[in-house]
Amino acid sequence: MKQTRRQFLTTASAAGAGLVLRSMNLPKNTFPKKGFSLNIYATRWGFKGSMDAFCKEAKKEGYDGIEDWFPNNEADEQILYEALEKYDLKFGALTGSNGGNFMLHKESYKTNLSKVISRKPDFINCHAGKDFFTFEESKELIEFAINESKRSGVPVYQETHRGRILFAPHICERFIDAIKELKLTLDISHWCVVAESLLENQKETVEKALKRTCHIHSRIGHEEGPQVSEPRAPEWQRAVNAHYVWWDKVVNYKKEAGEPLTMTTEFGPANYLWSMPYTQQPLADQWAINVHMMHEWRKRYL
């Protein structure tokens, strides 16, 4: 019987999801100590509606909270707070630094981070510095964040992101060894691109990062890009399995330690999301993929 394009995509997605689930070994059931929790956040990246509409959809899907760049004006701050209260959602803030040289990055980072910390979000995920800064320059930014976190009580994490301080495993390892209080947002998809591998030859280095992870961006990357086209498609099974091996370890470390863990489903829009040339028609549904990732995490870890 001839299928329509919609029927084909539905059937293929379901089959792919089943294949991945059957082939993945579920993690050992580590009994969590008191203090462990897992809260899952929705990314606003790629959502085209208002803050109220975004929070409404996130709540409807079952997210615990949202993650977004902190507003740069009081009017948008008020809109954010009203939506969070209206839909009873938690909030994780993104902040970072910018400028043409280290001094400008340092100034903007201190200003941005201090402002966001004063608003007391659940956590702050940092895009700090640039990949070409010296070790000492980058260390200064990280240590400023650690001191601000200790002073305020707000958790502050540095993301493993291309173009930023912790853009590659071997670079991140230097900071882990030098700064005992460094805490990470693990978006390991970036490292797969930088290393053009699933990090098979850097297991000890990756293990160090997993033990410092407090927040995760659950996007799945591969050797040639930061985002697979559709994680339920069987051709990406190897990459999906690799990421779950890493995430399993982080979750178990947190369960064993009795510590909280947060996660944001962060499959992004184009150009992360694959699309057709010329028309830019997306080849998958970004929102649906992120909701899928949320449900997979709940089934797997809760």
Percent of the chain with pLDDT over 90: 90
Whole-model pTM?
A: 0.91
- Find the mean pLDDT for residues 265-276: 97
According to the model, what pLDDT value does residue 27 have?
Answer: 67
pLDDT for the residue numbered 116:
98
Are the beta carbons of 75 and 50 closer than 8 angstroms? no
**pLDDT (tens digit per residue) in 56-101:** 999 999 999 999 999 999 999 999 999 999 999 999 999 999 999 9
How confident is the model at residue 30, as a pLDDT?
76
- Is residue 219 pLDDT above 70, yes or no? yes
Please give the single-letter amino acid code of residue 68: D
Half-sphere CA count of 188, side-chain side, radius 13 A: 29
For residues 79 and 85, the answer to whether their CB atoms sit within 8 Å is no
pLDDT tens digits, residue range 184-203? 999 999 999 999 999 999 99
Residue 162: its pLDDT value, please?
A: 98
pLDDT of residue 8: 37
Which of 12-21, 129-138, 153-162, 252-261 bottoms out in mean pLDDT, i.e. has the lowest? 12-21
Q: Is the pLDDT of residue 22 over 70?
A: no
* Spatial contact of 36 and 259, defined as CB atoms under 8 Å apart: yes
User: Which helix H or strand E contains 215, and what residues bound it?
Assistant: strand 213-217
**Confidence band (pLDDT; 50, 70, 90) for 107?**
very high
Closest CA to 127 of 174, 214, 187, 178: 187
